[in-house]
A and B are shown apart, each in its own frame.
Chain A
Amino acid sequence: MKTGGKAARPVDCNGISHGLARGRRLFDLLNNSLILVGGMAVIAACALIFLFLLYVVAPIFQSAEVRARSSFPTPGGGGDTLLYALEEQGGMALRVSGDGHAYFFNTRDGDLLKETTLLPAGAGPPVAFARGAPVYGGLALGLADGGVVLARCHFTAHYTAQGRQVTPVVEFPFTSAPFPVTPGGTAPVALGAALDAEQATVVAASAAGGFSLRLLRVQGRGKETDVLFGVPRAPESVVTELPYAGGRISRVFVNERQDRVFVIEEDRFLHFYDISRPGAPILLQKASLVEGETRVRSVTLQARGFSLLIGDSAGRVRQWFPARDAEGRETLRLVRTFSADGLGAITALAPELERRGFVVGDGTGRLALFHATSGHQLLLKQVAAGGIHQAAFSVRAEHLLVAAADARVSLWEVHNPHPELSWRALWDKIWYEGRNQPEWVWQSSAASADFEPKFSLTPLSFGTLKAAFYAMLFAIPLAVLGAICTAYFMAPRLRALVKPVIEIMEAVPTVILGFLAGLWFAPFVEGHLPAIFLILLLAPAAVIGAAWLWSHLPAAARSKLYGWEALPLVAVLVLAVAAAVQLSVPLEMLFFDGSMPQWIHARLGLDYDQRNSLVVGVAMGFAVIPTIFSISEDAVFSVPRHLSTGSLALGATRWQTLRRVVLVAALPGVFSAVMIGFGRAVGETMIVIMATGNTPITDWNLFEGFRALSANIAVELPEAEVGGSHYRLLFLSALLLFLVTFGLNTAAELVRLRLRRRYRAL
């Protein structure tokens, strides 16, 4: 047929349209603009998809912003401040002063709303202070007589007709009386505490006759009543001693689970204790925190109290958390170091309460926002003239309270929606809290509250590539060889039959392929694994064998088969497959101890999943074959006839002509077919959902599954919170798929366009 027809456009008829009626001309105009709109709409649709995905994804890579909201003199007057805390929506805040008073104030102007003392009547100012579990709002105040007061300051919100009402609450979860901790009434020099509604743990350091550590464990709520006597049950408290040998103790911390204690000696060394059995505490490790003249300046526990953040005089913050080493011993490890240009000695360090972010203030009034897990520096900003003394986040880290050296407190609005996502966090190995080494992990949700989502796109992208790789391994030989045969060697009548079959093959919904792969083929493969490998051997052998037999037929019979080879071969292949399946069980008994999957596991040390990459490779190969087949068939078929007839006339054989002439001309087309097929394999969803176990692992093992980007999107997007990091990340996965397929398709299209032009020239 003529392809040139497209280029020759219809004759422009403007010249003869002078005498046309207005209606006709209007219709012409209308029609033309409608068609123009239709054409542009296609571009618009394509662009819209891309731009919308980009629009959803873009906020991920925005850095954080802080905006000043208000500033006021320190509420409750001068003096030291032990602690600031912000209410969830930032409207109200708490200051605990050095003399043991709690001041609740309005963050618009610093007006006091409530003032109360946390100490028992007659007690002097506290000599040591510790914060326990910030979300709970626990505090411990050490008194000069060796007693410790456990208190809780928090905010409760309820909704009335006027809107959200916040009430400040000060309570003593056990009793308001101090618990005696240090012996002989010596004043504690440092205090570490963790509190929740059921249990409190306090570790106090005292200096009487060399430094020592004592542990107080309080259990049972004072509000509970005794079942037998009907009177309030006193909380039970136990005091034990922690083994300690060393110099001045400067800081003590207890983790939120109340089973580990961190003690900092001389602002340089760390002692790490296991107190999961308070009666028998164990010193796990002694480590050096800083080098040379550097000293620890500010320390805090990360949200959920798992890791320790240590700010030092050199302007660095280091994150330490417990991990098991090769021998299985638990030790604190230096995991990450954070620093920012021009950040001086750290004077304030405050963690976010839910995410793994934290804020750092230095002696010159600079503020830096970091996210620990992603190692991401989000912000560096001068917020005060003098040094920053204290900082506190609201629960969702949307507000930040900063107290500076000029005795003023300021409230800042923080816009930092996705600190955990950075390019590095998405692709590099990340050392997560609770893991023993840096890893690629995708785990978007879990049941427990102190779970940190782990968003590494590497295992998912790996899964996608793995699926595509095995699919292509299966599909390319079959599709390309098949296409060559159909386009070049096949009788036209058979070709007219084969092409619709391939078209039907392309039309088979992938959900059906996935279903059959997962529920029929996967169990079949598990039961007949040797058969699969046997087919690889037997099928080509049978084909060659059949060809050899055919070459011994009389010439008349042989020539009848020219172009029709494929049909008898179907029967040959049926026999080969049947033979392989029949031989499978005996082979398993003979060579693989009765079961090949078991043998693979025991002898090769490879895991075997029933729904594995082999199954996906075959199923997805089935889905991709028709795409590659049709396009490469087209490429081979449209090689101008005179090229091959010329070659044949010069005495080349059919195969020589194919290899040296036709394929050389058609190769770019075949290549673009493979690219398009690859694009299809990358984006295929249902097969990978249904035929793999969807576990995000990074391993090329043919007998294990994977989790692909596309399957991950389909499974998780319906549950993702709209606008959250997870949601945007799934959009990013979609954008990645879009870009990859866009690149592949555009490249393939350009190759084909060039090819078409070249053929036309020939």
Chain B
Amino acid sequence: MVAHESRQGGPGAAAGTGGRRLGWFRGDDPFIWLCAGAVAFCLLMVSGLMGLILVRGMTYFWPAPVVEFEYTAPGASSVTLAGEIAHRQLVLPEQALDAPPAATGTHPERLLLKTGNRRIYGQDFRRIYSADLQNARYPEELTVFQRTEWGNLYGYLEALEVAGVRRSPDDALLQDLIARGADLRRQLRRLERGEGGRINGALEKLRLEERRLELDEAPADDARYVRLAEQRRTQQERYKNLEGRVGALRQQLERDRVWVRLASGERVEQTLGDILLAYRPNAMSLPQKLGFYLRGVLKFLGGEPREANTEGGIFPALFGTFIMVLGMSVLVTPFGVIAAIYLHENARQGLLTRLVRISVNNLAGVPSVVYGVFGLGFFVYFLGGSLDRLFYPEALPAPTFGTPGLIWASLTLGLLTVPVVIVATEEGLSRVPHSLREGSLALGATRSETLWRTVLPLTIPAMLTGLILAVARAAGEVAPLMLVGVVKLAPSLPVDGVFPYLHLERKFMHLGFHIYDVGFQSPNVEATQPLVYATTLVLVLLIVVLNLSAIYLRHRMREGYRDPGT
């Protein structure tokens, strides 16, 4: 029970302080200090964890200097390379058999260098012992090109070609062209997502309507078939038209190109439309870097993931989490609040209440993965499958609701977080002074009226606390979601411009799952680590802020509604 709130001082604060130097080790102090040490260790772990996430997550956006150096791989001739140092690591001797003789000391330091230029080198990252790094320098002209595909390109800007005309390297022009490319890409996306999505949706709807006619065993010469065919032709024409416009935009996008000389000497021709960003980290001043950093943060929060989630932003995951949590809140709040009222206000404190209490406790204690199993079996296959058979027979065997999706994830997490709301609300109810209730009843109000007009308004902060805690829990829960609707890459958001705008049956992305997936399922785990740290930071901040606000609300509530009767 949290209800015990004593303001008494530390117990026995003044006891046992006599000058018992002798046999100090057999006295009280070592034990007391060991206990304090346990608390300190917990505090240290929490702060260490937060610090680690904070440092690793925040540095992801910082424009790291690009180092150029000579490197001789064993049995090969010397090459010049350029790249960012992603990671430094001390290597165990048995894993460092390939270390250069200069480094065969104890634990040689190995660098993970992002040398980029995957198309040419075949890899984005190289592991190089720091002893192998020769002649390291930081040339100011070295430019980093972030591309839509094939990762980063590191090199020197050599020439530009604008609409077939060769131009000398010009930074301002390059930035203009990149901005133009960004604009074109935006138009392209709008066309493909917006109109393309609408046409695809309409075509799919037509297919389903036709299938439904077939299921209803409409005669083959039914006029409706003709109408459907006509509509399909219209849509297909629209599609062709769209394809033409998309093609034109694509051509525009591929108009310009840029020549880049790599540190290792190769010349690379690069379509400008594929370049997202070009910057010279070694030439940046601190304010420039700060600006770059902030833009990076915004792009990360608002951008789409690229290259199988290993680059780009996390917007779909944030949005998916948000929508899922919203759906869950709609469900969990009334259910939890009513259950709490039952427990605290209405019930005779008998066997039934005890049963409810045990149920609440168990709902809180059941492992989350069990909720996932239940959600998959009951909501998805049982409820969803029945819905499909009843309302969407034309789409079968492709499931509509009979497959993991947003609505089932919300329902499952709703069930999972109900105890959180119940516990918080009940605590709020127990803080409403009895004198208020008695006053209301004495003035002739019914119990329901007392509840709705007097007690519940006072409990709103408690409900809010519960809801916030539930949301924080849902935002970080992954195991059940893996079973009931989360995917690594959702093709479209659950909310878009196609009727009915909110697509409850769609699969969605989720922040927590994003961390699991990118951190553990991507081909190059080490390369994606910084991005995972950044995502982790976002999730941790979200959850810490939610929890702190819940703690604050609860604190205020405790201070606010002191029972005047006591």
Taking a contact as CB atoms under 8 Å apart, the answer to whether A2 and B566 are in contact is yes
Taking a contact as CB atoms under 8 Å apart, the answer to whether B472 and A598 are in contact is no
Closest Cβ of chain B: how far from A707's Cβ, in Å? 14
Q: Which residues of B contact A523 (CB under 8 A)?
A: 89
Other-chain residue from B368, B418, B548 in contact with A45 (beta carbon distance below 8 A): B418
Binds A, one of B76-84, B159-167, B280-288, B535-543: B535-543
Taking a contact as CB atoms under 8 Å apart, the answer to whether B106 and A489 are in contact is no
Q: Does A48 contact B (CB under 8 A)?
A: yes
Taking a contact as CB atoms under 8 Å apart, the answer to whether A722 and B39 are in contact is no
Q: Which of B345, B349, B446, B515 neighbours the largest number of chain A CB atoms within 10 Å of its CB? A: B446
Q: Does B520 contact A (CB under 8 A)?
A: yes
Name the residue on A nearest B563 (C-beta): A2
Closest Cβ of chain B: how far from A254's Cβ, in Å? 42
Q: Which residues of A contact B42 (CB under 8 A)?
A: 478-479, 482, 501-502, 505, 625, 629
Taking a contact as CB atoms under 8 Å apart, the answer to whether B338 and A38 are in contact is yes
Taking a contact as CB atoms under 8 Å apart, the answer to whether B536 and A512 are in contact is yes
Q: Which residues of A contact B11 (CB under 8 A)?
A: 488-489, 641, 644-645, 648, 654, 657
Q: Does B524 contact A (CB under 8 A)?
A: no
Bound CA span A40–B473, Å: 24
Name the residue on B nearest A594 (C-beta): B93
Q: Does B236 contact A (CB under 8 A)?
A: no
Other-chain residue from A3, A486, A510, A527 in contact with B39 (beta carbon distance below 8 A): A486
Q: Does A595 contact B (CB under 8 A)?
A: yes
Taking a contact as CB atoms under 8 Å apart, the answer to whether A710 and B479 are in contact is yes
Taking a contact as CB atoms under 8 Å apart, the answer to whether B45 and A622 are in contact is yes
Bound CA span A16–B45, Å: 59
Taking a contact as CB atoms under 8 Å apart, the answer to whether A509 and B373 are in contact is no
Q: Does B168 contact A (CB under 8 A)?
A: no
Taking a contact as CB atoms under 8 Å apart, the answer to whether B16 and A509 are in contact is no
Taking a contact as CB atoms under 8 Å apart, the answer to whether B39 and A683 are in contact is no
Interface residues on A, range: 35 or more
User: With A53-B373, A507-B543 as given contacts, are A39 and B44 in contact (CB-CB < 8 Å)?
Assistant: no
Q: Does B118 contact A (CB under 8 A)?
A: no
Q: How many residues of chain B have a CB within 8 Å of chain A?
A: 139
Q: Does B509 contact A (CB under 8 A)?
A: no
Q: Does B28 contact A (CB under 8 A)?
A: yes
User: With A41-B339, A42-B422 as given contacts, are A737 and B441 in contact (CB-CB < 8 Å)?
Assistant: no
Q: Which residues of A contact B362 (CB under 8 A)?
A: 46, 741-742, 745-746
Q: Which residues of B contact A745 (CB under 8 A)?
A: 361-362, 364-365
Q: Does A32 contact B (CB under 8 A)?
A: yes
B residues 337-383 touching A (CB-CB < 8 Å): 337-339, 341-349, 352-374, 376-378, 381-382
1/0 contact trace for A571-613 toward B, CB 8 Å? 0111001000000010001000011011000000000000000
Binds A, one of B196-204, B258-266, B289-297, B447-455: B447-455
Q: Which residues of A contact B41 (CB under 8 A)?
A: 478, 482, 539, 573
Q: Which residues of B contact A461 (CB under 8 A)?
A: none
Taking a contact as CB atoms under 8 Å apart, the answer to whether A43 and B359 are in contact is yes
A residues 678-735 touching B (CB-CB < 8 Å): 679-680, 682-686, 689-690, 710, 713-714, 717-718, 722, 730-731, 734
Q: Which residues of A contact B92 (CB under 8 A)?
A: 526-527, 594-595, 597-598
Binds A, one of B1-9, B130-138, B214-222, B305-313: B1-9
Q: Which of B33, B345, B450 neighbours the largest number of chain A CB atoms within 10 Å of its CB? A: B33
Taking a contact as CB atoms under 8 Å apart, the answer to whether B37 and A574 are in contact is no
Q: Is the interface of B mostly helix, strand, loop or mixed?
A: helix
Name the residue on B nearest A26 (C-beta): B448
Other-chain residue from A49, A503, A509, A510 in contact with B551 (beta carbon distance below 8 A): A503
Q: Which residues of A contact B363 (CB under 8 A)?
A: 42, 45-46
Q: Does A638 contact B (CB under 8 A)?
A: yes
Bound CA span A24–B453, Å: 13
Q: Does B172 contact A (CB under 8 A)?
A: no
Name the residue on B nearest A514 (C-beta): B516
Bound CA span A505–B354, Å: 30
User: With A36-B342, A566-B36 as given contacts, are A684 and B367 in contact (CB-CB < 8 Å)?
Assistant: yes
Q: Does A637 contact B (CB under 8 A)?
A: yes
Name the residue on A nearest B434 (C-beta): A5
Q: Does A500 contact B (CB under 8 A)?
A: yes
Taking a contact as CB atoms under 8 Å apart, the answer to whether A714 and B482 are in contact is yes
Bound CA span A684–B9, Å: 38
Bound CA span A42–B382, Å: 20
Taking a contact as CB atoms under 8 Å apart, the answer to whether B33 and A546 are in contact is yes
Q: Which residues of B contact A501 (CB under 8 A)?
A: 42-43, 46
Q: Does B171 contact A (CB under 8 A)?
A: no
Taking a contact as CB atoms under 8 Å apart, the answer to whether B370 and A540 are in contact is no
Q: Does B107 contact A (CB under 8 A)?
A: yes
Taking a contact as CB atoms under 8 Å apart, the answer to whether B35 and A10 are in contact is no
Q: Which residues of B contact A634 (CB under 8 A)?
A: 1-2, 4
Other-chain residue from A24, A629, A710 in contact with B369 (beta carbon distance below 8 A): A710
Binds B, one of A60-68, A156-164, A190-198, A490-498: A490-498
Q: Does B326 contact A (CB under 8 A)?
A: no
Q: Does B223 contact A (CB under 8 A)?
A: no
Q: Does A7 contact B (CB under 8 A)?
A: yes
Taking a contact as CB atoms under 8 Å apart, the answer to whether B519 and A13 are in contact is no
Closest A-B pairs by Cβ, 10 of them: A683-B367, A509-B476, A38-B338, A39-B342, A485-B35, A547-B33, A543-B37, A565-B36, A569-B40, A685-B479
Residue pairs across A and B with Cβ atoms less than 8 A apart, 24 shown, are: A11-B441, A31-B447, A32-B346, A32-B447, A35-B338, A42-B339, A42-B422, A43-B356, A485-B32, A500-B551, A507-B543, A507-B547, A509-B475, A510-B478, A638-B4, A654-B11, A655-B16, A655-B27, A683-B366, A714-B479, A714-B482, A714-B483, A717-B376, A745-B364
What 12 new A-B contacts, CB under 8 Å, besides A30-B448, A519-B529?
A: A13-B441, A40-B356, A43-B356, A46-B362, A52-B374, A482-B35, A502-B42, A543-B34, A562-B10, A634-B4, A738-B366, A753-B354
